[in-house]
Amino acid sequence: MNYLTNLFHALDLDSLLDLLIRLLAVLLCLTVHELCHGLAAYALGDPTAKRNHRLSLNPLRHIDWFGFAMLAVAGFGWAKPVPVNPYYFKRPKMGMALTALAGPASNFLLALILLALVHPLAAFHAAVWSGVVLEFLLRAALLSIGLGLFNLIPIPPLDGSKVLFSVLPDRQYNWLLRYERIGMVALWVLVAFGIGSRYLSAAIYAVFRLFCRVVGL
């Protein structure tokens, strides 16, 4: 019994709480991002995501556990890609671009909603749980903005590349799609060496401050 008591007191509860908040924020942001990819594709006529049970708020439908761990620990990660069949779209390239944009757009909207909840919850400042909830809202909003901006980088397989590719002639478009894995290698190199991370961080905090002003914080 003494051993268990000592073990409990040895635990850094603040660190555990910090980890829990981070994991919940990652689950929320990734789930909304992938769900909105699927919803956009479905709205444009592609039922593939629905057939694969990806039009769901259940995080387990979307989470790639290694990518989830990477995002929680290193700030760079991924979820299971939502399956999309562009041949269902009337205009395949435009459909792919809109489906890709739905992910980052949903993260920006989610961040605005989370920040808009800060004022009402701040009224409960005397409650023990309110500080934890407020920290979750702020950190999840920051993470959601980061996820949205990161995915707008025009390097395959990020969403920004789908938008960039959509303005290219069909021959170049199909060639780039075929060699998306090269882009993935380039992305890993950029992340591993922190290339451009300073500019991305500056952009994230700039958008965060802008969104705070928009909701009156």
Asked whether 32 and 106 are in contact (CB, 8 A), the reply is: yes
| Helix/strand/coil for 179 | coil
Secondary structure in 3-state letters for 111-167: HHHHHHCHHHHHCCCCCHHHHHHHHHHHHHHHHHHHHHHHHCCCCCCCHHHHHHHCC
CA dihedral 200→205→207→209, nearest 10 degrees, is -170
- Here the tokens at position 36 are 């909105």
Residue 147 and residue 33 in contact, taking contact as beta carbons nearer than 8 Å: yes
- Amino acid identity of residue 71, one-letter, is L
Q: Which of 22, 27, 33, 34 is catalytic?
A: 34
Residue 135 designated active-site: no
Contact 108, 74 (CB under 8 A): no
What is the three-class DSSP state of 172?
helix
Residues catalogued as catalytic: 34
